[in-house]
Structure 1
Amino acid sequence: MTCLCVMRFFKYDRTFEETQCSVFYGCSFSRMLLFLLLARHWPALAHRWEQVESVLAHHGYPHHHHHHHKVNVIIAMFLSAAFIEHIFSHVRVIRLAVLCAIEDGMDGICTYFFNSFPHVYDYIPCSLWNGVIVFLINVLCAFAWTYMDLFIVLMSVALADKFRQLNRCLQSVQGKPTPPRFWHQMREDYNTLSCLVMRVDSCMSKIVFLSFANNLYTVCIQLFNSLHLPQNAVQMVYFCLSFGYVLLRIVAVSLSAASINEQSSQVRKILYSVPATSFSKEVQRFLQQVTTYEIALTGLNLFSVKRTLLLKVAATIVTYELILVQFSAIHADERDLTAHSVAKRYCL
C-alpha cells in the first residue's frame, strides 16, 4: 500500500496534500516493524517488571477496582473516538458514491472504493472482493495507529502509579524524624523504579517518537485542509471530529507520559522538608539523585516527554503551518503560471 501511494504521489501533482496517503501507510508499516521489535524484548521486559513488583511489594498495590476502572475508561474513550472518527471518514465518501449512483447511474460500490482508495485502483481494476480486502487493510491501519497511542498511555499510567505509591509512602513521614535506614530503603526503591523507566524507554522510545511525529503531521495537515472551506455539512462534521480527535490523542499521550516525570519529581518536595535532626548522607544522596537525574520517557532520546512539551508542540505546529501556507501559495502561483502559459500557446 505504501508503494502504491508513493507511485501515485510521483505520478500526479507532488503537493503536501498528496503526502497523506504515503505517510498514513508508511507510518502503519513502521508501527508494525516497531511492535515486532518490541515483541522480541517483551518477555525480558515483563520479567523485569515482575521483579520490580516483587521488590516494591512492601509499598502495596493500587486499588484493584480503581485501577481496573481507570484502564477500562481510557480504552473505551480511545476506541470509541477512533471508531466514530473512522465511520465519519467513510460516510462522506459513501455520500458521494450514492449521489453518483443515483444521478449518473454509476456502480455505487466501485465508486466508493475508487474514491476511498484511488492509490490502489489507479493500477488494478475495481471489484468487490479486492475492495473488501483493501477496506479491511485500511481499518487495521487506522486502529493500529490508535493502538500505538493507547499503548503509550497505558504504559505511562502504570509507571506513574508506581511512583505514586512511593510518594504516598514518603508523604506519610513528611516532616517527621526518620532513621537513615528508612531513607536508604526509599532511595533504593526510587532507583529501582528509575531503572525500570530506563528499561521501558529503551524499548519504547522509537514508538514514542513515531507517535508524536505522526500526530504532529496529522494536526498540520488538518489545519492546512481547514484553509479550504468544507463543501457540505458532512465534511464540516468530519473535520471537527477528526481534528478534535487528533488533538485529544496528542494531549492524552503527552500528559500521561509526562505524569512519569511529574510523579518522580514529587520526591524532591518531600526531601526538602526533612527535619534537620533526620538529615543524613542518605538523604543527601537521595536528594542529589532526584535533582540531577531526569526520569522521563523520550522519543529516540531527542526529546523528553514532560508537561512543557505540549507548549513546544503547539509552537512547532504554528511554525510549520505558516511554512505550509507560504509553500502552498507559491505552489499555487506556479500552477497558475503554467496553466496560463499552456493556454497562451494553445491560443497562438
Structure 2
Amino acid sequence: MVDALAQKWPKFARLWCNADRIMNSSYGSLKNLSNRIKITTFVIFVAALGEYILLVIYQILWITEKNHGVFVIKSYFFLAFPEFFAMMPFNWFTAALTTITMLIGHIIWSFNDLFIVSVSSALALRFKQITHRLSLNEKKANSNEYWIEMRADYDRLVHLSKKLDKYISYVVLLSYSANIFFLLMQLSNVIGHLNTNIQVSYYTYSFTFLIARLVAVTLYGAWISDESKEPAICLNSVPSATYNLEVNI
C-alpha cells in the first residue's frame, strides 16, 4: 500500500507543484501554511512522546510494585511485548529489537496523521483563496475572462482533490483503523483496572490523546470538502448584470 503510493506520488507531486505555480501567480503563496505544519508537527509528536513516556513509566512502576519494590527488566519486556516473547527468547538483541520497532511504529502512526492533516490543510487553504477572491469581487461587474479564470482555478483544485482522495484513501483508512483500534483497546484496559494514580494519569492522557487525533484527522479531512463548497455561497450573490454561463457552471 505504502509502496504503491510512493510510486505514484512523484507524478502527483508534479501535478500539485504545477497547480501551485499557477495559483501563486494569481493568489499568492500560502504564507501561513509552513508555520501551521510546523506547529501541528510539534504538537502531534510532543503529545505522542508524552504518551510513550507515560506508558513506560506506568509499566516500570507496575513491574516494580509486582516484584515487591524491585524492578526486573525481563518482566518489563514480558509485560510490554507479551505476544513477541511468547514465541521468542528474551535477550538484549530481542529487547532492543522490540523497543526500536515500537518506537518506529509510534513515529509512523503519528506521521500518518500528520500527513493527512498537512495535505488537507494545503488544499483547503487553496480553496479558501478562491472563496476570498470571489468575496472581494462578487459585487463588481467582472468580465467573462475573469469568470473563465475563476472556473479554471476551481476546476484545477477539484481535479487535484479527487486525485488526492484516490491516492491517500488507504492512508486515511490506515489512520482511522489504527486510531480506533487503540482507542477500543485502551477503553477495554481502563474498565476495572484503574487502581493507582499513574494508571489514572496514563489512561486519561492516552484516551484523550487518541480521541483528539481521531477528531483532528476527521475535521482536517472534511475541511477540503467544506472549503470547496464555500464559493457557491459567493456565486449566489453575483449581480444579475454579470451573471453568465461561467458563473452558472
The answer (yes or no) to whether the contact 1:153–1:252 under 8 Å persists in 2 is yes
1:273-312 mapped onto 2 (5 Å cutoff):
273-285=237-249
Whole-Å separation in 2 of the counterparts to 1:153 and 1:86: 21
Report the counterpart of residue 39 of structure 2 in structure 1.
73
Report the counterpart of residue 296 of structure 1 in structure 2.
none
Report the counterpart of residue 36 of structure 1 in structure 2.
3
Report the counterpart of residue 115 of structure 1 in structure 2.
79
1:193 aligns with 2:160: no
Q: CA deviation at 1:85?
A: 0.5
TM-score by length of 1: 0.68
The higher radius of gyration belongs to 1
1:206 aligns with 2:173: no
Q: Give aligned-pair identity as a percent.
A: 27
Q: CA deviation at 1:39?
A: 0.9
TM-score by length of 2: 0.94
Report the counterpart of residue 319 of structure 1 in structure 2.
none
The answer (yes or no) to whether the contact 1:61–1:165 under 8 Å persists in 2 is no
Report the counterpart of residue 132 of structure 1 in structure 2.
96
Report the counterpart of residue 149 of structure 1 in structure 2.
113
The answer (yes or no) to whether the contact 2:186–2:207 under 8 Å persists in 1 is yes
- Out of 88, 92, 107, the residue aligned to residue 58 of structure 2 is 92
Whole-Å separation in 2 of the counterparts to 1:223 and 1:109: 27
The answer (yes or no) to whether the contact 1:271–1:283 under 8 Å persists in 2 is yes
Q: CA deviation at 1:62?
A: 1.8
**Structure 1 letter corresponding to 2:30:** P
- Choose between structure 1 and 2 for higher RCO, CA contacts under 8 A separated by at least 6 residues: 2
Q: CA deviation at 1:100?
A: 4.8
- Where 1:58 maps in the other structure, the secondary structure is helix
Whole-Å separation in 1 of the counterparts to 2:175 and 2:33: 25
Whole-Å separation in 1 of the counterparts to 2:93 and 2:53: 20
Report the counterpart of residue 20 of structure 1 in structure 2.
none
- Out of 235, 247, 251, the residue aligned to residue 199 of structure 2 is 235
Whole-Å separation in 2 of the counterparts to 1:62 and 1:174: 22
Whole-Å separation in 2 of the counterparts to 1:131 and 1:223: 27
- CA separation of 1:112/1:225 partners in 2, compared to 1, >3 Å: closer, same or farther? closer
Q: Unpaired runs of 5+ in structure 2?
A: none
Whole-Å separation in 1 of the counterparts to 2:159 and 2:215: 26
Aligned length: 248
Q: CA deviation at 1:102?
A: 5.0
Whole-Å separation in 1 of the counterparts to 2:177 and 2:80: 24
Whole-Å separation in 2 of the counterparts to 1:194 and 1:109: 54
Q: CA deviation at 1:92?
A: 1.4
Whole-Å separation in 2 of the counterparts to 1:182 and 1:225: 59
The answer (yes or no) to whether the contact 1:110–1:128 under 8 Å persists in 2 is no
**Structure 2 letter corresponding to 1:262:** D
Whole-Å separation in 2 of the counterparts to 1:128 and 1:102: 24
Whole-Å separation in 2 of the counterparts to 1:217 and 1:93: 20
1:144-181, Cα deviation, whole Å (9 max, x unpaired): 11111111000101111111111121111022221222
